[in-house]
Amino acid sequence: MSLEALIFDVDGTLANTERDGHLVAFNLAFEELGLDWVWSNELYHELLDVTGGQLRIKHYLKNHKPEFTHDDLDNFVASIHKLKTKIYVRLMAEGAVPLRPGVERLFAEAREAGLRLAIATTTTPANVDALIANTLGREALDWFEVIGAGDVVPNLKPAGDIYHYVLEKMNIDPKNCIAFEDSHNGIVSATDAHLKTLITVNEYTNSHQFDEAIVILNNLGEPNKPFTMIEGDATDATFVNVDYLRGLHAKHC
């Protein structure tokens, strides 16, 4: 089995969009709608256990605002979320969030090496578009053979639906792929689809369980900015490139 494709999560993996994008957008949406809900960074850390913005708002209401009632909660939450998405897209256009170290370089090297690229995320498709278009340019959206996002599948991560969907669209065996994730929910989802996963942690996920990971790094690293290995096989590599991925794949997949 050879390495043929790389499948990337978005939020927290390609960029630290949760802290500087989603959290900011949720709070601005609440404010604009005259709601007195303010999510601190600490609270958001907890709320991130629930994937999907609408489910996250409902989880918040149930656990932190039990007194709150609404005749048509689903529509109300959907309308808040619609505004949140609009604000998030605007923040991306303002350049609020850069890609994480090594991401742009790895995309270029993988494309050069003829590896296939795809995205598997629970976030809303407009958010993926906005992040990619504003960091790499709109043409970069075509680098991805499949962009699996949001409610294109019935169940969000940690369910494996989105990875199953992407693999089916690519018509590829998971054994020929490596997934890139940052969270426990993400690796549970990828593992359900029989994918092996490389983890790059961030401030929200560095205490998560990643039992199935083939390696856990602080980030992908750059030639002048080595990664820190948190767990994994000893290596001379100091940044993630295609050779390093081929080695990992040969050993673990």
Which of 87, 110, 91, 82 is CA-nearest to residue 177? 110
Binding to Mg ion by CB under 5 A, coded x per residue (else -) over 162-191, reads --------------------xx--x-----
- Nearest distance from residue 77's CB to ligand XBP, in Å? 11
Site for ligand XBP in 171-210 (CB under 6 A): 183, 186
Q: Which of 6, 9, 131, 162 binds Mg ion (CB under 5 A)?
A: 9
Please give the Cα distance from 168 to 197 (Å, whole number): 18
Torsion of CA 89, 60, 148, 78, to 10 degrees: -60
Q: How far is the CB of 160 from ligand XBP (least distance, A)?
A: 12
Neighbours of 63 (CB within 10 A): 11
Tell me the C-alpha to C-alpha distance, in Å, between residue 126 and each of 73, 160, 233: 23, 21, 37
User: Could you say whether residue 123 binds ligand XBP (CB under 6 A)?
Assistant: yes
- Is 161 an interacting residue with respect to ligand XBP (CB under 6 A)? no
Q: Which of 16, 27, 51, 134 binds ligand XBP (CB under 6 A)?
A: 51
Does 18 interact with ligand XBP (rule: CB under 6 A)? yes
Nearest residue to ligand XBP, by Cβ distance, number only: 53
